[in-house]
Amino acid sequence: MAAATIDVPRWTGPLPTRDQVAKMIDHSLLRPELTPADVAAGLAVALEHRTASVCVRPADVAAAAAALRGSDVAVGTVVGFPHGGGTTATKVFETGDLVSSGAQEIDMVIDIGRLRGGDVAFTQDEIAAVVHAAQGRPVKVIFENCYLTDQEKVAGYQAAEAAGAAFVKTSTGFAGGGATAADIALMRRTVSRAVQVKAAGGVRTLDALLALHHLGATRFGATTTASILADLERRLAGEGGNRWTP
């Protein structure tokens, strides 16, 4: 069940440049039915728009690394996706294997049930093991917030920071809930500025991206990259000097 599109009012504040927004997007190519041709087309979209990264399925990492070699678009992928129920050893092996295949960023799903059961030490240790296996590459920790209480979320975010994660991330996009304004604000309040916040699940419009960026998200998982950027270009053309200063 995919997360619903985030419904927010039209953004009326200053607008960032096209390049600034593109470098906040991880273009997502994770749907299970994507063919090799679909993946190739998605990689072309990421290259055309010079997104921060593409986030591909593990089986597509080697092909993505070859296609994006020499570009400034990073190859991201997922570990323990989408349910997080694999063993720590499996996640560590998967991370190492994907790094060897060319992955430059790792989005890992925690064992959600263990965190819900109160075993925060397990959560921290598992994240730390994946961070170590990533060999210095950024690890984004997916919490699937719709299954967690605020108390569980805070404990998990703090564990992720202690374990050396680069990002805390809202969701996989494959559960019943995705990114929300309340969760982005909570994530930003909970972790230090050394840890970034990634919003994923329902971020399909420019208005949603800008609203969540205003609350503290700096990276976004999105499948609608081209339409988001096209909307931004239309607004920039029509709104003159109303520009965002980062």
pLDDT digits (tens, 9 = 90+) for 86-127: 999 999 999 999 999 999 999 999 999 999 999 999 999 999
Active-site residue, selected from the candidate residues 23, 140, 153, 198: 198
Closest listed residue to residue 73, CA positions, set 52, 91, 55: 52
For residues 111 and 85, is the Cβ–Cβ distance under 8 A?
Answer: yes
Q: Is the pLDDT of residue 241 over 80?
A: no
Q: How confident is the model at residue 189 (pLDDT cuts 50, 70, 90)?
A: very high
Q: Within a domain: residue 182? A: yes
Q: How far apart are CA 156 and CA 147, in angstroms?
A: 12
Q: How far apart are CA 147 and CA 131, in angstroms?
A: 24
Active-site residue, selected from the candidate residues 107, 111, 140, 183: 107
- pTM recorded for the entire structure: 0.96
CATH number at residue 89: 3.20.20.70
Q: Within a domain: residue 94? A: yes
Range 237-246, long-range pairs (CB < 8 A, 24+ positions):
239/15, 242/14, 242/15, 243/14, 243/15, 243/16, 243/17, 244/13, 244/14, 244/15, 244/16, 244/17, 244/20, 245/14, 246/16, 246/20
Give 120's strand partners: none
Q: How far apart are CA 1 and CA 193, in angstroms?
A: 32
Q: Within a domain: residue 13? A: no
Q: Within a domain: residue 97? A: yes
Residue-range definition of the domain harbouring residue 64:
18-235
Q: What is the pLDDT of residue 246?
A: 56
Q: What is the pLDDT of residue 108?
A: 98
Q: Within a domain: residue 241? A: no
Tell me the pLDDT tens digit for each residue of 27-67: 999 999 999 999 999 999 999 999 999 999 999 999 999 99
For residues 55 and 78, is the Cβ–Cβ distance under 8 A?
Answer: yes
Q: What is the pLDDT of residue 24?
A: 98
153 residue type, one letter: K
107 residue type, one letter: D
Tell me the pLDDT tens digit for each residue of 119-157: 999 999 999 999 999 999 999 999 999 999 999 999 999
Tell me the pLDDT tens digit for each residue of 202-235: 999 999 999 999 999 999 999 999 999 999 999 9
To the query of whether residue 153 is one of the catalytic residues in this protein, the response is no
Q: Within a domain: residue 6? A: no
58 sits in the region (left: phi over 0; alpha: psi -120 to 50; else beta) called: alpha
Active-site residue, selected from the candidate residues 91, 153, 169, 183: 169
Over residues 185-199, mean pLDDT: 98
Q: What is the pLDDT of residue 3?
A: 82
Domains: count for the chain: 1
> What token pair was written down for 215?
């609350």
> What token pair was written down for 115?
């965190």
Q: Is the pLDDT of residue 195 over 60?
A: yes
H or E element that contains 200: strand 196-200
Mean pLDDT for all residues in the chain: 96
205 residue type, one letter: T
